[in-house]
Structure 1
């Protein structure tokens, strides 16, 4: 006959310093199952360690992806002009367009066929990425120099465009028996028609001689001079500052002339050159 298994186990704890003891009763079943408890704890611990490892790896990958994304964003931000730069670039473009419009209007007033500004950049212009502000600054300076040079260069018609005699050798207009060199071009018109300067400059002569009759000579920049002869009246005097398109006299037939017309010369460094080359910007 077998003896019954104990249902409880008693654990006695002795305190040698105090000489006392204490007993704890634990169901025997728990002691028998202790190995299973340890196994369960070990499994749970292993699962937790594995989960933490996976989570740590995932967080690391996310941080790496985040850093990569931030780097790409930073690169894109560097490619986008700052608000101030964009505003400055836009201001430069607007100033350039204003200068082009001013040049166009200036040429039209002087009888020169000007250029069209609409769509000058082509169909891709609207999608063009902004270049650095320095580019616009250089372009703006170039346009300023272009306009400055233009206003001091003889351009356009000084009178109504009724050209009657060209530059170069021609038959003598008085008897036609000989040839002579014609140092300018002639515009036919009526006495009193307004004569206009073709560039900014300064009057260096305003008076009369036997050949040109009453005439005005204007000195411009870069060695250019223009002469307006056979006037009936000069409206400017020596030393006057002249603006392009300014009325400087009236058409007449003074001097060596066969009828009312303007004799117009363009000179470069004192030598007559063909004014026809300056009537248009072709």
Structure 2
């Protein structure tokens, strides 16, 4: 015979169950089964809740990883664009520096002193526009357009520099520098011959000078003759190009030789009285295409 005694504070007195009785055994079995069912159900419910949470956490982790990867890619792309813009800005800055230097050189060469080409001053700008953020794509497009403008300006300035340089060479090849600091004692053309008193054609102009005074080239060129010529004594002849040449006569000493390159204003001889001469002076001739012409108009351009 099997008896079960149940003791609880909720019961007034211990209860005894006689399991050998069919009704009591059936009731006890039912209660036990119910308890086991509730236990298993609670366990399965808890397990299911944990599975759903783990699945949701896994999905969130996956989404976070995807977002982090997208953010990293966006940052890398943005950095690539920034690097590209920085490189273009560096190129444009270098080109702007070159154009500024070229512009300043042309301003000096062209003697542009009116302030229009002041490369040290930033031009003023203004307006009442609506400002918005500039997309990177539009910024790169603007930089490309600025690059094209710089290229065009560079070509134009280079052409202008070449023109100014050619003009400068042409000016330097035209006799315009006084060969002597002395005053003019005899002009070009018909005059009384200082030796015979008759009429003679003077092929140049004479400058007053003392023996040993410097004689300077009237323009840049190449020495084509340096030696003695009948009537002229010690002579220097310089070919300036463009059909111009000059002659310097009656020198006491020559300082250049045939083939020498000379600059405008360079000392080429010492004044004297060699050859057919009445005293120390500088005889100066200008030849254009082989013909002697009056030197005075060339010197008058600089106040000679």
Q: TM-score, normalised by structure 1?
A: 0.57
Q: How far apart are 1:257 and its partner, in Å?
A: 0.9
Residue 252 of structure 2 aligns to a residue whose secondary structure is strand
Structure 2: gaps (5+ residues): 1-91, 126-148
Q: How far apart are 1:261 and its partner, in Å?
A: 0.5
Give the alignment partner of residue 166 of structure 2, picking from 111, 128, 145: 145
Give the alignment partner of residue 91 of structure 1, picking from 101, 104, 110: 101
Give the alignment partner of residue 118 of structure 1, picking from 113, 119, 124: 113
Structure 1: gaps (5+ residues): 1-81, 102-116
User: Where is the helix percentage greater, Structure 1 or Structure 2?
Assistant: 2
Give the alignment partner of residue 191 of structure 2, picking from 162, 170, 194: 170
Alignment of 1:229-268 (within 5 A): 229-268=249-288
User: Where is the strand percentage greater, Structure 1 or Structure 2?
Assistant: 1
Tell me which residue corresponds to 2:43: none
1:271 lines up with 2:291 in the alignment: yes
Runs (4+) of structure 1 moved beyond 6 Å? 82-85, 126-131
Residue 220 of structure 1 aligns to a residue whose secondary structure is strand
Contact 1:156 1:280 in 2 (8 A): no
Question: Greater Rg, structure 1 or structure 2?
Answer: 2
Question: Aligned residue pairs: how many?
Answer: 183
Residue 104 of structure 2 aligns to a residue whose secondary structure is helix
CA pair 120-175 structure 1, distance change in 2 beyond 3 A = farther
Q: How far apart are 1:237 and its partner, in Å?
A: 1.7
* Partner Cα distance (1:136, 1:203) in 2: 34
CA pair 204-88 structure 1, distance change in 2 beyond 3 A = closer
RMSD of aligned alpha carbons: 2.9
Alignment of 1:46-65 (within 5 A): none
Q: How far apart are 1:171 and its partner, in Å?
A: 1.4
* Partner Cα distance (2:276, 2:164) in 1: 43
* Partner Cα distance (1:128, 1:224) in 2: 48
Give the alignment partner of residue 177 of structure 2, picking from 142, 149, 156: 156
CA pair 180-97 structure 1, distance change in 2 beyond 3 A = same
